[in-house]
Chains A and B, each alone.
Chain A
Amino acid sequence: MPTKPDPTDDALIEVRDLSVHYRLGGSAAARLLGRDTGAVRAVDGVSFVLRRGEVLGLVGESGSGKTTLGRAMLGLVRPTSGRILYRGRDIGAARERDLRRLRRDLQMIFQDPHAALNPAMDLGTAIGHPLRIHRLAATPAARHRRVVEALERVGLVPVEQFLGKYPADLSGGQKQRAVIARAIISGPSLLVADEPVSMLDMSVRAKILDLMLELRRDLGLTYLYITHDLATAKFFCDRVAICYLGKIVEIGPTTQIFAEPRHPYTRALLAAIPEPDPSRTVMRDLPRGEIPDAARPPTGCAFHPRCPHAFGPCGWEARDLRALLESRWTRIGDDRYRAEQSLFADLAELDTPGRRIQIRAAANAQGLLDLLTEMRAVDPAEPFWRGVTDIQIDGDRVVIEFAPPVEPHLLPMDEVAVSCHLYDANLSPDAQVSDRTP
């Protein structure tokens, strides 16, 4: 079936609503009984378009699902739902045999160059192997010529010295060059580069990135550049997509994102770039806590528990109260901690999901309410309280009601798209955010 030309733009790959969930093993008993053990949502409803010839950066902390997304683009992991369209075909649903043919066009550069080459295969064989697999060279001599050409292109010269070497004989940078040579030899159109320089020495990083830019210019490559390093992304990418817990929270041209980050998470990431001048201490708006468990992502906006600007509809729930209590108890003394903890009948109740939670008090509900009131009085700026609509006593329990959570979606703003309620005029009456951009 001939490919229908896309009238909108020169899209190379279009990702629509892609999700990749990994099933969790769970306990032995659960597995034996075939019980549902839950799943990690590595990628959760991601859509974007990769344009021909561009470098799209996928930036996020570890655990944000960026590597899984990159592997799904090559058909190395199967999506749970959604589509990855390349030349009118869905990579996610293609059969393994058809995928193998497509892999000529879609290649990958791996994070760890030391592990990406077969230790028992010399470079000449390893780099020429894609040609052999796809029968791209008529004769061994033709294959040899193309291997030599590829090695020259990635700067492994004099070529004769490298053809017979084994990966163990090479340095990290040389190995990465060899991996790149193997990736480009079949003449691909897309290279997925999964943190290609993060395991290399600082002195080699710039050279490898330069090489990749040169290849892009000469071979017309498109890159999906996966990284956690904003500095290289700024240098290397035309557009960046910021990932958080399996979702894209902000996507747009690199210059715009860096000049005017909109999503609170993007701002936090940019603020986390170390300042080279130690005398200039910047007020850092670093997000608190760690990236949450992707098996039980927070409701609403996944970033809300760490967000300084979160408000009502961001998806507050009982778990956030527990985190708040725990952080309070680390600060107050031992006696008070024990006294306050004994107010609760069962702290595990704070893990129940829902908009309305009932917390049973151990003895008197009033004491519990007083504690919550006090916490609110001590730190009224805490975003959590913006999500609480009502607290009242009901018999021996305290009932807390939260504002209804709303799932955020990518909102187009100029060339950038942001997934944050702060920019949604319907949700945020004071849509003009206090601009704390540094």
Chain B
Amino acid sequence: MSQLSVEPVEEPREPAPQGGRGIRRVLSPVRSARGIARILLWAGAAISVLFVVLAVFAPWIAPYRFDQYSAGGHPFPKQGAPDATHLFGTTVQSLDVASRVVFGARTALEVVVQSVVISLLVGVPLGLVSGYLGGWLDRSLVLVMDALFAFPSLLLAIVLSFLLSGLIGGTVTAAALSITVVYIPQYFRVVRNTTVSAKEATYVEAARAIGARPITVMRRYLFTNVVQSVPVIGTLNAADAILTLAALGFLGYGVQPTQAAEWGYDLQRAVADAGAGIWWTGLYPGLAIVLLVTGLTLAGEGLNETLNPTLRTRPLRRVLLPPLPATLAPRTHRDRP
């Protein structure tokens, strides 16, 4: 469940024989990215990949389990300063900070992947249908989505998390679902608006003229042309989702501490330590949040610069001509007989 990639590997519905080519076509602007966009993209990707590695291999990287307070019969010190056995020190609950930070990456990525995938699966088809069919369906969906949009996102997530905790408890999925609701309207809006403008294109009318059903028009003609902005929002939303998750955890509405390690919860427990000069319990989870959010944001901005045709600049290469042979060298006026 922990594997993920934030790269825009889109078009799962492309036919298989041309699938490889299709993906290469989509990725070609990424490969040809230059300058700042390239730096942003690769820096962001590097940071994100670091956290992905931490998340996937957490049990091997972390020295202890996230809820372990003793090893070999010896209990860990309470609020112990960083030393050789506990690289980042221990918390007030005698838990190893380094292990909790590593396992926290796993929780964060699980929640981000789940919430982004679910909101994609719900938001994109809804946007396509709403934009293409229009009419009362479009109006009511836009109304609902705008209403969701108008809510402060954290409040919405808290309310949903509160409702879900009664149903499925404070699991990772519950946290992901409460975050999902915040992002569905974003995908919906972007996809719906691009669909509304793309459906006026001649090739959509041409598809109707060859007898394609509405579902075919949406799947084969509109989908591939309107999802291009989705990877960018997906990556930027992922960054935002980390913050929302941490906020939920901080407020006590996120993942239950028994279920998984969570940076927001750790930060909340560290609030009291800060006044006593115990800096390590708060610093490391906080640093992890900042780093991962920065990485995902950089990757998102880099993707935006490379994929968004209104921002994209094609590099100009200098044309170097071989020197002309003397006989063909251009003559000036004075040389003329």
Contact = CB atoms under 8 A, between A and B. Distances in A.
A binds B: yes
Interface of A: 74, 76, 99-101, 103-104, 107-108, 110, 112, 115-122, 125, 129-130, 133-134, 164, 166, 179, 182-183, 186
A110 B206 contact: yes
Given A101-B211, A107-B209, A115 B25 contact: no
Contacts of B207: 118, 129
Contact of B209 (A108, A120, A134): A108
Nearest to A102: B211
Given A103-B211, A115-B202, A166 B225 contact: no
27 contacts: A76-B209, A100-B212, A101-B211, A103-B210, A104-B211, A107-B209, A108-B206, A108-B209, A115-B202, A116-B203, A118-B203, A118-B207, A118-B220, A118-B221, A118-B225, A119-B203, A120-B224, A120-B225, A121-B220, A125-B18, A129-B212, A130-B210, A130-B211, A133-B216, A166-B25, A182-B210, A186-B210
B12 interface: no
A242 to B, nearest CB: 26
Interface of B: 15, 18, 21-22, 25, 201-203, 205-213, 216, 220-221, 224-225
B15 A164 contact: no
Nearest to B201: A115
Contacts of A116: 202-203, 206
SS class, residues of chain B in contact with chain A: helix
B18 to A, nearest CB: 6
Contacts, number: 68
B210 A112 contact: no
Contacts of B18: 122, 125, 164
A183 B25 CA distance: 26
B268 to A, nearest CB: 47
Contact of B211 (A134, A164, A166): A134
A186 B22 CA distance: 26
Given A100-B213, A125-B15, A182-B206, 5 more contacts: A74-B209, A100-B212, A118-B224, A130-B210, A164-B18
Contacts of A119: 203, 225
A183 B210 CA distance: 7
A73 to B, nearest CB: 11
Contacts of A120: 22, 224-225
Q: Which 3 A-B pairs have the closest CB atoms?
A: A120-B224, A103-B211, A115-B202
A134 B205 CA distance: 17
B210 A133 contact: yes
Nearest to B21: A164
Nearest to A179: B206
A100 B21 CA distance: 31
Contacts of A179: 206
Contacts of B213: 100, 133
Contacts of B221: 118, 121
Contacts of A110: 202, 205-206
B254 to A, nearest CB: 39
Contacts of B208: 76
Contacts of A121: 220-221, 224
Contacts of B21: 122, 164
A182 to B, nearest CB: 7
B205 A129 contact: no
B14 to A, nearest CB: 9
B209 A103 contact: yes
A282 B36 CA distance: 63
The interface centre, meaning the residue of A108, A120, A183 with most chain B CB atoms within 10 A of its CB, is: A120
Given A118-B225, A121-B224, A122-B18, A100 B203 contact: no
A67 to B, nearest CB: 11
Nearest to B224: A120
Contacts of B211: 99-101, 103-104, 130, 133-134, 186
A122 B224 CA distance: 12
A128 to B, nearest CB: 11
Contacts of A166: 25
Contacts of A186: 210-211
Nearest to B11: A120
A76 B210 CA distance: 11
Contact of B210 (A107, A122, A125, A164): A107
A133 B206 contact: no
A121 B211 CA distance: 17
A101 B210 CA distance: 9
B209 A112 contact: no
A133 B209 CA distance: 11
A110 B210 CA distance: 12
B16 to A, nearest CB: 11
B237 to A, nearest CB: 23
Contacts of B201: 115
Contacts of A133: 210-213, 216
B335 to A, nearest CB: 39
Contacts of A130: 210-211
A345 to B, nearest CB: 46
Nearest to B223: A120
